[in-house]
Amino acid sequence: MNQFVLYQKNALELRLFPHITEVGAVKNSAIRLDGFPCTTADTLKIYYIQDGKFEWIINKRNYTLYPGDVAIIMPGIEFGNENNVLEIGSFYWVHLQMVKAEKWHEACPWSSLSETEIESIRKTLQMNQSPVFKKFQEIGVILKSIQSELTSQEIAYHTRVNHLLDEIFIQSARQFNSLSDTGRNFPGTFMKLEQALRQNLAHQWTVDEMATFTGLCTTLFNERVKNYSGFSPLSYLINIRITEAIKLLKQPNVSLTNIALDVGFYSSQHFSTTFKKLTGYTPSQYRKNYLQKNN
């Protein structure tokens, strides 16, 4: 492998890529003391081990990385070697600038991914309890390509490098989903989504937002929800809204407008038509019936 390191502050190769704070490949043939300190930064760091064995601390936990392993260190997370030692072996890495931990898309004007897609990827990676992926050679291939693009600077290398960074995002999120319970357990994931909907029923949920929760694209999300629940995502949401409204209608001191807004209808008119379509009663008739019957 060809060793190289580029830093944003002095590398001309990175002038078109203000978002790459650091990119490099290192081959270390003897232990270097004072070579790999623990630091915290606002960057997203991706490391791929080519050779050797590395003992690193990520977020106060010890990890041992072997060839083929990938470490993804989220912004603001402490990372390095406990004794500031750089061990024998070789690895590739890239650091990407992230302005705010919560708003990746603002830090990624270079990306061709949509705002929702970046948001899905961020949530997926954040859900990941373990920052180390075993045997994830795909990332090594991408990092090597980035290196050769930056050194040879052939036609359209600007676009190509950014595409490769997107590819890292996509591959990592997919890898996580296929390994984790989230990608295997639809009932469990759907239950978590249902809880989130109930906790914030007044919110005007969109299908995109709901899909983000599961790590699926909107089309596939629609299909899986329909298949599993029998309802489209929005119909399922209306189902919960009406169910909660029924409970509130039995309490005589809550106004109909408040019920409508609390359970997520945008007006009492919208509430009334939807409720009547399903139950045959308007909300006020339903309440009157209930109170009459029980007095």
Q: Contact residues for another protein (CB under 8 A)?
A: 177-178, 181, 183-186, 189-191, 194, 214-216, 220, 224, 228-231, 235-236, 239-240, 242-243, 246-247, 250, 276-281, 285, 293-294
Minimum CB separation from another protein for residue 125, in Å?
16
Using DSSP's 3-state secondary structure scheme, residue 114 falls into: coil
Contact criterion met (CB below 8 Å) for 74 and 98: no
Distance of alpha carbon 176 from alpha carbon 139, whole angstroms: 13
Question: Which one, 89 or 264, has the nearer CB to another protein?
Answer: 264
Q: Which residues have a Cβ under 8 Å from the Cβ of 273 and sit 6 or more positions away?
A: none
Question: Which one, 146 or 197, has the nearer CB to another protein?
Answer: 197
Minimum CB separation from another protein for residue 130, in Å?
17
Minimum CB separation from another protein for residue 132, in Å?
20
Question: Which one, 154 or 181, has the nearer CB to another protein?
Answer: 181
Question: Which one, 28 or 177, has the nearer CB to another protein?
Answer: 177
Minimum CB separation from another protein for residue 29, in Å?
39
Using DSSP's 3-state secondary structure scheme, residue 263 falls into: coil
157-190 burial, b at 16+ Cβ within 10 Å, e below that, comes to beeebbbbbbbbbebbbebbbeebebbeebeebb
Q: Which residues have a Cβ under 8 Å from the Cβ of 75 and sit 6 or more positions away?
A: 41, 42, 43, 44, 98, 101
Minimum CB separation from another protein for residue 190, in Å?
8
134 phi and psi, to 5 degrees? -80, 145
Distance of alpha carbon 177 from alpha carbon 224, whole angstroms: 15
Question: Which one, 85 or 196, has the nearer CB to another protein?
Answer: 196
